[in-house]
Amino acid sequence: MKTGIQYDIPAAEYYASPALGSSAIKRAALESVAHCLADEYHETPAMRAGIMAHLAILEPDRFKDTYVIAPCGPCQGTTAKGAPCSKNAEPGSKYCWQHGGKEEAAAWHASLPAGTMIATQDEVETAMKTSEGVRAAIARSNYPDILNPENKREVTVCAWATLTPDGYSLSLDEMPGAILVKGRIDLFVNGYHAIDVKGTTKAGGTAERMFRYRVIDDGLLIQAVLYSDLIKCCTGAIADEICTSEIASWTWLVHEQDAPYAVRFYAPDPKDTWAARKQIAEGLRRWQVYFATDNPWDGWPTKKQTIYTTPKQTTAMVDSEF
């Protein structure tokens, strides 16, 4: 993967790249590289619904071209005794797998354009309802124009990360001992402002007190800071007036995946970025140790630790304009 900003990297190519993303860096920092290596991707129904809603919100036309409803229904075959088959047909076929439907379904799927995904009628309808509700909520907000076609979708940013005494630095040119890191931005507004779309199915999941825990516990702040640093590096915006703060312009667009499909906009507190950068540097350091020694357990505690139960003060979200 080349360094800099790229607007046309397919998702499959992005995820196949050996460059480290925020999830790998975050997991290594909060747990260990061993936990990253042990991860196996399993798409749950909730994850699938979120992925479909995400695409339908950002690019409804591409969603319609990507997801195809497979013709399906009761198998039209008969049993050895001549009774109607009780099984469901394979998606894309009139028959179940026992009556040859598997081959017919495979042939139908192979005839579809590359990248086409199969979905049920209910899945497509649910994603479209979410898209329509969320897009209507955005139109009612202070930022009705962020979904304009000229604002880029799925933008890839990539740079080389080098550990420093104070943390890490990013460069478009490879340096000795550097690690290639990457990010994928949901929505890139005006060439410098990143918007990360997050869906929630939990009641009240868009409320500040609920989303704050995702920012902290799910490491969303680590992602925001790393991506913002990548944007600064790739655009040269570090010297630009619009990006002179500790974190480049970043917004979380949090939406409900159920009616009434409300949305809220949140921004990270710049005062919290030092802690996120410290965690990013630690994650990079642990990966560097793994690359050099093949030891994925560096940083994992082996001694007894004290559990502190006194609640720590949390920082409220701040308003953001872009």
Q: What pLDDT shows up at residue 242?
A: 42
Percentage of the chain with pLDDT > 70? 92
Question: Of the ranges 186-190, 202-206, 288-292, which one carries the lowest mean pLDDT score?
Answer: 202-206
78 in Cβ contact with 95 (< 8 Å): no
Per-residue pLDDT, averaged over 229-252, amounts to 68
Query: Residue 11 is encoded by which pair of tokens?
Result: 């998702």
Q: What pLDDT shows up at residue 320?
A: 47
Residues with Cβ within 8 Å of 206's Cβ and at least 6 positions away in sequence, in order, are 200, 254, 255, 256, 262, 263, 264
Q: Which residues does residue 254 pair with via DSSP β-bridges, in sequence order?
A: 198, 264
Q: What pLDDT shows up at residue 83?
A: 87
Going from the N-terminus, what domains does the chain have, and what CATH number goes with each?
A: 4-44+124-293 (3.90.320.10)
Per-residue pLDDT, averaged over 142-146, amounts to 90
Question: Of the ranges 10-24, 237-251, 282-296, which one carries the lowest mean pLDDT score?
Answer: 237-251
Per-residue pLDDT, averaged over 65-73, amounts to 81
| The pTM of the whole model exceeds 0.85 | no
Per-residue pLDDT, averaged over 224-247, amounts to 70
Per-residue pLDDT, averaged over 59-77, amounts to 86
Q: Pick the residue with more confidence: 35 or 218? A: 35
Q: Pick the residue with more confidence: 322 or 54? A: 54
Residue 175 and residue 160: Cα distance in Å, rounded?
Answer: 7
Per-residue pLDDT, averaged over 20-29, amounts to 94
Residue 81 and residue 34: Cα distance in Å, rounded?
Answer: 56
pLDDT digits (tens, 9 = 90+) for 166-203: 899 999 999 889 999 999 999 998 877 899 999 988 77
**pLDDT at residue 137 is higher than 80:** yes
∠ CA 127-102-71, rounded to 5°? 35
